[in-house]
Structure 1
Amino acid sequence: MKPKILVVEDEPTLAEVLCDYLAASGFDAHSLADGNQVIAWVQQHQPAAVTLDVMLPGKDGFQLLKEIRQFSQVPVLMISARVDEIDRLLGLELHADDYICKPFSAREVVARIKTVLRRQQQMAEIPAPATTFILDRERLCVRLREQEQTLTQVEFELLACLMARPGRIVSRSHLMDTIYPDRRIVSDRTIDSHVKKLRKKLALLQPETELIGSIYGAGYKFDDSALSR
């Protein structure tokens, strides 16, 4: 079965060219022009990758990426004519897998998609060590070896978000958006309190090990290398 690629682009000519190049490269390419249609399509079809224009009718690309990351780690390549540094950093902060600036060649986009998919495949082929935490969403718990700890919904989402990016700093603002998708107003202290409680539970599974590190002024990161100590 051909890998399915979703092209989200409101310029018809550009979307058609990208889809043609992707099809010629062995992909099953689909395009959408309205941001309001994207989330339902991704949930239903589960594409191998998404190219996501920033400026769209309906929801913009950054909002869509934020919503996608609440339920999927599908590779997302942001495409935009807005090349200023703030937009670029925001795209990476929301955990885009790549950021492509217009104008570009369709061949370049196809090459970058192949690179992202190849990198994802290589990561999937790395066997998980015996000390890896296993998250059980249905039971809201985390297991290590023969032990397990029950988590609250907030603690579970917090740990899942950090574990999805081992060794990488995750900002408090991103954690807040992940834990509270309704965008309720919470302070940094709220996140700090949840992290403190989560650390205590993880310490019962892996004593004398700081699995969640604090990075002053930046956020938190999950130290997966500490599991093997």
Structure 2
Amino acid sequence: MARVPYLLLIEDDEAVRTGLELALGRQGHRVVTAATGELGLERWREQRPDLIVLDVMLPGIDGFEVCRRIRRTDSLPIILLTARNDDIDVVVGLESGADDYVVKPVQPRVLDARIRAVLRRGEREVSDASVFGDLVVDRNAMIVTKGGEELSLTPTELRLLVELSRRPGQALSRQQLLRLVWEHDYLGDSRLVDACVQRLRAKVELVPSAPTLIRTVRGVGYRLDPP
């Protein structure tokens, strides 16, 4: 029997929180909720959920700070809920370590699809390993090591690196990566890709500001180059 995903929903609006809890439960998820950032952090430490759905505008500690604190020690997936498709909210959220975002008012089916997509990113697959200097991407075990040490990557960072490693030296557009990694079939938000690449470079590059592995292809996207 497939394992039921365990979600933590951090949302201060009681009507939204209750509605999403019921809707996600009907979609087959187990859901625990919190109404504040402080309580959300407590529930995260106690419950160890598979994924967090996190509202940006929270009383006290806001969603950005909650995301930053979690990211210091945990790579579990985080999906942000934003009140509007605001550039600043989206960029700050992604830079804080979020994997994806959904704009309110939230359609439960859309949120469920995003949740299932991000959870699939960490699933194992049958394949082999690719070596890029001291960086090894093992697609069978879904493990990445650098200098023999396993890297702590979020499922989204891992899937992005896996997809780039399948095609070394080949430029992939941002839209291709959105389809392959985020499973966004529409003309999606390329900021998801750029923010994830930035975080990934900080973990795999010797000098993240002067990358030698994950290269930017101007006007196209990114490619993974052997050293």
TM-score by length of 1: 0.60
Alpha-carbon distance in structure 2 between the residues aligned to 1:221 and 1:23: 45
Q: Distance in 2 between matches of 1:97 and 1:211?
A: 20
Contact 1:62 1:91 in 2 (8 A): yes
Task: Give, in angstroms, the shift of residue 43 of structure 1.
Answer: 2.3
Q: Which residue in 1 is equivalent to 2:32?
A: 30
Greater helix proportion: 1
The answer on whether the counterparts of 1:18 and 1:106 sit within 8 Å (CA) in structure 2 is yes
Q: 1:32 to 1:126 in 2, by over 3 A?
A: farther
**Which residue of structure 2 aligns with residue 200 of structure 1?**
none
Distance 1:11 1:31 in 2: 11
Instruction: Tell me, in whole angstroms, the C-alpha distance in 2 between the residues paired with 1:17 and 1:79.
Output: 14
2:48 is equivalent to residue 54 of structure 1: no
Distance in structure 1 (CA, Å) of the matches to 2:51 and 2:116: 10
2:44 aligned partner: 42
CA contact under 8 A between 2:54 and 2:80: conserved in structure 1? yes
Give the deviation of 1:120 after TM superposition: 2.8
Measured at CA, do residues 127 and 33 of structure 1 come closer, stay the same or move farther in structure 2, by a change above 3 Å? farther
Q: In 1, distance between residues paired with 2:31 and 2:52?
A: 10
Native 8 Å contact 1:7 1:31 kept in 2: yes
What TM-score do the two structures reach when normalised by structure 2?
0.61
Rg comparison, structure with higher value? 1
Paired position in structure 1 for 2:120: 118
Distance 1:72 1:30 in 2: 18
Aligned AA for 1:169?
Answer: Q
Q: CA deviation at 1:226?
A: 5.8
Q: Which moved more, 1:61-70 or 1:31-40?
A: 31-40
2:38–2:60 CA contact under 8 A, matched in 1? yes
The 1:28–1:171 alpha-carbon spacing in structure 2 relative to 1, beyond 3 Å, is closer
How many residue pairs are counted as aligned between the two chains? 170
Q: Is contact 1:212-1:222 (8 Å) kept?
A: no
What root-mean-square deviation, in Å, do the aligned CA atoms of Structure 1 and Structure 2 show? 3.6
CA distance in 2, matches of 1:74, 1:118: 12
- Find the aligned partners of 1:22 and 1:58 in 2 and give their Cα distance: 26
Give SS of 1:64's match: helix
**What corresponds to 1:169 in structure 2?**
198
Give the fraction of aligned pairs with identical amino acids, expressed as a percent. Answer: 29
- Following TM superposition, by how much is the alpha carbon of 1:128 offset from its aligned partner in structure 2, in angstroms? 6.6
| Separation in structure 2 between the aligned mates of residue 54 and residue 20 of structure 1, nearest angstrom | 21
Are the structure 2 counterparts of residues 127 and 69 from structure 1 closer, same or farther at C-alpha, using a change threshold of 3 Å?
farther
The letter of the residue matching 1:114 is: R
SS of residue matched to 1:47 = coil
